[in-house]
Every structure is written in C-alpha cells, then in structure tokens.
Structure 1
Amino acid sequence: MQEECDSHIQQVKLLKEDVRKNLVSPIDHNNFSFKLNFIDSVQRLGVSYHFEHEINTLLCQIYDISTEDNNIIVHSDHLYQTALLFRLFREHGYRISSILLNFRNEKTNFINIKGKRMKRLVQAHMAKARRCHTNHIPKMEEYMEVRGISSAYPFLMTLSFLGMEDTTKEVLIWATNEPTIIVASTTIARIMDDIVGDEVEQQRKHVVSSIYCYMKQHKVSRKCAIEELQKLVEDAWKDINDACLAPTQVPTTFLMRAVNFARVIDVFYKDEDNYTNAGGIMKDHIESLLVKKISL
C-alpha cells in the first residue's frame, strides 16, 4: 500500500513538473494561443494554486506584448482568443479597458449580426400571427421563408458558432447571408416537424402547415403532398452533402454544425414527434447516451 502511495506521489510530481515547464517556456507568436488555453485549462481543473507564481509571470509577459495603454492590441478577428485574453486579465486583476467591446462592434459586426437576426425573427412571428388570425394559407415559398425564420433555427445555428474557438468575422457574415447548408438544414427541420406533428397541431388554433400550403397550391391530396415534401427533404440532404465537398466556403467544423443539427432533427421527427413527446424513444436515447453504462 505504501509503495502504491509513493508511486502516485511520484507521478503527481512528474505531472506538476510537466505543467510547470509549459508555463515557464518562452512565449512567442506560434504558441501564444496555446499558452492562453493552457492557463485556462489549469484554472478550470482547479489546480492553479500549485502554479500561482508561474501563471502570474506568464500573464505579465502576455500583458506586455498584447496590450497598449490598458487596451488589448487586436491582431486578428479571432473572437475566442481575444475574449479569453480579456477574461484572464480581468480575473487576475489587470486593469483592461472595456474598449474591447467596441472592437466587437466595429471589427466583427457581432452586434449588428445579432440585431439583424433578431429583427427577422420578430418579423417572422408577426407574419405567423397575422396568418393565424386571418386563416391565410400562403404559397409554399412564402411559408418556408417565414416558418424557417420563426423557428429560430438559423438564429440558434449562428449562435452556436460563438462558442467555437475558430469563429471569425467572415464566418459570422457567411452564416447571416443564408448559405445553402443552413437553408437546407432549416428546410429539413420545418418539413419533418410538419409531417409528424400536423394532425395534432391543427386540432387547436394554429397556423397552417407546409402540408396544407402544398395541398392548396398544387391541388393535391394530403398523401401526395406529404410524398412531395419528403422529396424536398431528400433534396435538402443533397444540398448539405454538396456544401460539404471541397472547396468549402468556411472551415468544415462550422459546416458540421449544420450537418449535426439536421441529424438531430432526423432523430426527433423520423416517424413521430419525439420532440414534443419526449417520454418515449427520446428518453431511451438520452438514457443510453448519458445514464446507462456501455457493456464491454
């Protein structure tokens, strides 16, 4: 037992020395981002008290090369790195100016992007409310445009990019310009939701679904409308696949967000509305993923 304990103590000492070496090694342009993330990881793991001197020394070096008159010098549109730098400085008592917020507005248009998305979302909900009260049945094109926005699906997808390390101004602008992959992913969500949830939703006062819009516009039966809408879903998947082929407009990591959103929708609405009625197959899926142990 004593030998095992001594072995663990020795292992801890070796690991502490490895961490210390990473903290005290010279900092340059190539490892700047790594150093920031390393400090953040050590703090999040709750072991930073072992390396207070090393962290403070490293942050002092970073402060000297990355600030001027208490303002962070921004050399790129790297949102994550700049935000992390700001937070680490503030956490350690550095008097960093909040002028950084102006950088977000002028350089990344983040505030404008958020406002643009929110404005369109509110407008879409207003259009839905008018339809509901006037019993208006729009054409499919009009329905899909408004319904796609009111679902907040594109808004949520764009919002998810903000938590990614590689998010840049170009990526956010790309996301707000309705790229094919986000439009296709939204189409899948809206149509699959309508197909499995339409009958229940129409039992209460509700806007018409894509099924009724298609039926009226093309003068076909409900069954025929569903079959044609399913073809639109298949076409949307083809658009997603095509958007993922090189050369891509943005890094693949961002495209995979749209792909995974669509995959989740397929799980929710494959045969029934498992989003609204989450007690069945969705409960089993979640338990299998997060609760039940994997048998080996």
Structure 2
Amino acid sequence: MGCLQAQDLAIRPLAHFPPDIWGDRFVTFSTEDSLMMEKYAKEIEPLKEEVKTMLMIENSADFAKKMSLIDAVERLGVSYYFENEIEEQLSHIFKELAAKNFDMEYDLYNTASQFRIFRQHGYKIPCDVFIKFTNEDGKMKETLSTNIRAIVSLYEASHLRIHGEPILDEASAFATDVLKSSANFSEQARHALKQVLHFGIQRVENRHFISFYEQDEFRNETLLRLAKIDFNRVQLLHRQELSQILKWDLSAMEKFPADYMKLVFQFVYDTYGEFAKEMTERGKPYAAKFAKDRVMDLIRCYYTEAKWYKAKYVPTFEEYMINARITGVAQIISTSSIMGMEEIAEEKPFQQIIQSPRVVRACEIIGRIMDDIVSHEEEQARGHVASGVECYMKDYNMSREEVVQIFNKMVEDAWKELNEEFLIKSNPSDDDLPKPVLKRILNLARVVDALYKVIDGYTYSAKLIKDDIISTYTRSITL
C-alpha cells in the first residue's frame, strides 16, 4: 500500500453512526464494590457444596428429576462450578437410556428438555424420540398445542437439530406457529420467540431465567440463592475489568483528528504487540502473531472493499463472500479469544482456525449473512460497497425478498452444521478442534444472533440490546 500513488488510494466512506449512549457508566469501580465482591465470594462457597451434593446424590434413578436439576443449574449460570459432576451424571444417564434404545417414557416437556440438554453437551440422542408425538402424516399432534410450557421446550430443542432431521424441522415450524398465537398471553412464549435459548448470549439468558425461576413454585431456594449471588459477583468482576479497559480517558475521543483511523490502527497494532509480549512470557510466543495476522487480513479486505466502492464495482456473490467472510471477523475474534486460555497450550488450534474448518465457516456465514440482511439498505444509503444482498440480486436477477428468504435458509443450514460439529464423534480425529475452542466459536455465533436477528443491534444498541447490557453489567439482582 505504501507504493500507491495518491490518486490510486481507495478510501472507505465515512459512516454517521448514532452517538455513544454509555458515557462513563462502566468507568468507575469503587473500594466498596471490591469489598462486596469478596463478600459474595465467601458466601458462595457453602452454597456450592450444597448444590454439588444435590447433583451427586446416590438416588439417581429418577432421570427426569436429575436432568431437571442439571438444566436449572445450567440455565441459572452456575454450571461452571460443577462441570465434572454434570458430565458424570449425563454420561451415566445417556448410557442407561441408550441401553433401552432411548425408549423415553416421558411427556413432551421432559423429552424435549432432555433432548436439548444432551445435544448441548455433544451427545447424539436420536431425533426419533419425538416420533410418538406425531400423527400418521408425520406432523406434530395438534393436541400438544394447549401445553405452552411443553411447546417452549420443543421449540428450544428443535434448534439443536442437524441436517437430515426432518422431524425436527417440522417440530420447529409447529412450535413457532403455536408460540406466535400464544404470545399475547404468555411471557414464556414471547421470550422464546424473541431469543432462542441455544442461540442466545448465555449470560443474558441466565439473567432472564433467574427472573423466571424465582417465580417457579418448585424452585430450589439454595440453588436460586447461589445463582443470584454469583450473578452479582460476576457482574462486579466484569465491571472491574471494564473500568480497567476504559481508564485510556473517554474525552480524548472528541479530540481525534480527521485521520483518526491511523490512531485506531496504531492502537490495535500496539495492543497486539503487548499481547505478544505477555504470551511469550507464558510460553506461547506464537499466539499473538496468529491474532495480529488476522487483523492485517481484515485491513486488506477493508481495502478491497474500498477499491470496489471507488470503482463502483459490484462483485459476484462468490467473490464478495471470499472477502466478506474475513470482514465478518470470526477468525480474528476466535484467534484473539483463545490466546490467554490455559486449556490451549499448543500452536495447533490457531493453525486449525485459520484453515477455516467447517465450524468456523458456519460461524462466518451466520455473521456475514445476518449482518447483510438487516443492514444492507442503510449501508447502501451511506455509500458502502454492495452487500451480499445486492450481489446475489444481481447474480440471479432476484428481488430483495427472495434473496432474504434464501439467506435465512443459509443461516439455518449454517446453524445445523455448527450443531453437528459439537456432537461427540465415535471416531475422533487429531484434526478436530478442542472443545474449549468450539465453545468460543459457538459463543461468537450467539452474539451475532443476539445482535442482528432484527436490526443492526451493534450500531443501534439503544434500540435492541441496551437493557440487556445494563441488566448484565450494572443492575444487580436484589437478594
């Protein structure tokens, strides 16, 4: 780029984004906050021991009750304290059910709930467990529609489906229709339609579930207390971290010159330089280089977009996606997020990510396509390069509505592929990504879903995610 003549330089058009809505909300962290965080940590210890005893109690013959407890622990956001105990229980229950050929004598609610939990943990429980809830035509029985709690459970389970499971495609469509017709009188139905559990940002969903659970007449008070205290403790921890990040002086943003992007680039470059130093001290000198190289890839792709814009060039959809998969930042965030993970001590996972395995490609498609669907018209008005929607319309002579329908199917298929990558393989390969890395990629796809399923929530946070951010990071739970 340094050898280009001035007249050849391509400049990305400036966007006029909404003003910052956060101010100094996350900057302060007081001594009182620190003391409260320590107080919470002490109170958590005996509660953890009580819940651990509940999970490991000898009388485990009642699988439905055990699975219900596991589900509550996970949805309340405290399962990270009991990962070994949960895996031990799930492995035992799954083996017992497999020995019975998964002949589950449960109602729809419990069947769907257990299906979802097993799939979330990588167990390939067969979708045939839902056959008994269908009629002769393979459709879900209409009599099921009166039980909204069961329909919500079915709806959530159906989003763990993979390719080749038409019964779950049918279950998803059936449950969606029922919930839409019930949304006026059911908060559970409204929330499920607003955000699929499996696709949601887990910390946000934990906060919502705490509110639901405390209204449950069968709630476990010890577990609820643990969840509330731990949520407040982690909230304070996040606020402490945010205050440290935001301490560079927010007023300096107002003093940025017109060529502020140079400063931004320099900041990013220097930050990754600091990462490199820290990673070298930890014995992982390669980690920051992989992440830093992905930033350089992003800059090159942005420059390609700028050249297309200057030349008024509309690429083919295939050409667009080669570039757009990188600007979707899945590789950057994935490589950056695993740098400091203690579980990742080798270079191999970094190499695997940049080779775009199936799970990364699925995440890239989800990110890029969902963003394009909700933001392409406004970006065109701002003078951006043609989005995937315009490219596809031009290639196939289709209307916007037709392309959006196709794009939604692409996102649905990408989620099926991502789900399948999480299933435990009978013949694992050395080329498989480690589970902690897979979780990071899944969580990135979840962020995308939460931000882009309705509008461009990243740009217009006040319209979509402001309340969730406030409740997650600043509004503590009343004990």
C-alpha displacement of 1:290:
2.1
Question: Structure 1 counterpart of 2:414, which letter?
Answer: A
Whose RCO is larger (CA < 8 A, sep 6+)? 2
Quick one: structure 1 residues 114 and 257, their matched pair in 2 at CA, closer, same or farther if it must change by over 3 Å? closer
Identical amino acids, percent of aligned pairs: 34
Q: Residue 280 of structure 1 is aligned with which of 454, 463, 466?
A: 463
Quick one: structure 1 residues 268 and 112, their matched pair in 2 at CA, closer, same or farther if it must change by over 3 Å? closer
Q: Which residue of 2 is the match for residue 117 of structure 1? A: 294
C-alpha displacement of 1:250:
2.1
Contact 2:288/2:336 (8 A) holds in 1 = no
Q: Residue 160 of structure 1 is aligned with which of 337, 343, 352?
A: 337
SS of 1:136's partner is coil
Q: Deviations over 1:4-62 (max 9, x none)?
A: xxxxxxxx9xxxxxxxxxxxxxxxxxxxxxxxxxxxxxxxxxxxxxxxxxxxxxxxxxx
Quick one: structure 1 residues 86 and 132, their matched pair in 2 at CA, closer, same or farther if it must change by over 3 Å? closer
Unmatched 5+ stretches in structure 1: 1-11, 13-82, 88-99
Q: Residue 131 of structure 1 is aligned with which of 308, 331, 334?
A: 308
Q: Residue 149 of structure 1 is aligned with which of 310, 326, 336?
A: 326
Tell me, in whole angstroms, the C-alpha distance in 2 between the residues paired with 1:175 and 1:218.
32
Question: Structure 2 counterpart of 1:195, which letter?
Answer: I
Q: Which residue of 2 is the match for residue 215 of structure 1? A: 393
C-alpha displacement of 1:206:
0.7
C-alpha displacement of 1:236:
0.8
Q: Residue 232 of structure 1 is aligned with which of 398, 410, 419?
A: 410
SS of 2:461's partner is coil
SS of 2:381's partner is coil
Question: Structure 2 counterpart of 1:257, which letter?
Answer: R
C-alpha displacement of 1:144:
1.2
C-alpha displacement of 1:122:
3.0
Q: Residue 437 of structure 2 is aligned with which of 248, 251, 254?
A: 254
Tell me, in whole angstroms, the C-alpha distance in 2 between the residues paired with 1:170 and 1:149.
20
Q: Which residue of 2 is the match for residue 201 of structure 1? A: 379
Q: Which residue of 2 is the match for residue 16 of structure 1? A: none
Q: Which residue of 2 is the match for residue 186 of structure 1? A: 364
Question: What is the RMSD computed on CA atoms of the aligned residues?
Answer: 2.5
Q: Does 1:293 align with 2:472?
A: no
Q: Which residue of 1 is the match for residue 95 of structure 2? A: none
C-alpha displacement of 1:121:
2.2
Tell me, in whole angstroms, the C-alpha distance in 1 between the residues paired with 2:350 and 2:303.
26
Aligned positions, number:
198
Tell me, in whole angstroms, the C-alpha distance in 1 between the residues paired with 2:295 and 2:446.
25
Question: Structure 2 counterpart of 1:185, which letter?
Answer: C
Tell me, in whole angstroms, the C-alpha distance in 2 between the residues paired with 1:219 and 1:165.
50
C-alpha displacement of 1:156:
1.7
Q: Which residue of 2 is the match for residue 61 of structure 1? A: none
Matches of residues 31-50 of structure 1 in structure 2 within 5 Å?
Answer: none
Contact 2:316/2:392 (8 A) holds in 1 = yes
Tell me, in whole angstroms, the C-alpha distance in 2 between the residues paired with 1:275 and 1:110.
28
Matches of residues 58-69 of structure 1 in structure 2 within 5 Å?
Answer: none
Quick one: structure 1 residues 149 and 295, their matched pair in 2 at CA, closer, same or farther if it must change by over 3 Å? same
TM-score normalised according to structure 1 size: 0.61
Question: Structure 2 counterpart of 1:221, which letter?
Answer: S
Question: Structure 2 counterpart of 1:290, which letter?
Answer: Y
Higher mean Cα deviation, 245-254 or 211-220?
245-254
Tell me, in whole angstroms, the C-alpha distance in 1 between the residues paired with 2:359 and 2:384.
29
TM-score normalised according to structure 2 size: 0.39
Quick one: structure 1 residues 133 and 241, their matched pair in 2 at CA, closer, same or farther if it must change by over 3 Å? same
Question: Structure 1 counterpart of 2:302, which letter?
Answer: H
C-alpha displacement of 1:294:
3.1
Q: Residue 355 of structure 2 is aligned with which of 165, 177, 188?
A: 177
Tell me, in whole angstroms, the C-alpha distance in 2 between the residues paired with 1:273 and 1:148.
18
Question: Structure 1 counterpart of 2:404, which letter?
Answer: I
Question: Structure 2 counterpart of 1:139, which letter?
Answer: T
Tell me, in whole angstroms, the C-alpha distance in 1 between the residues paired with 2:302 and 2:279.
36
Higher mean Cα deviation, 167-176 or 149-158?
149-158
Tell me, in whole angstroms, the C-alpha distance in 2 between the residues paired with 1:206 and 1:217.
19
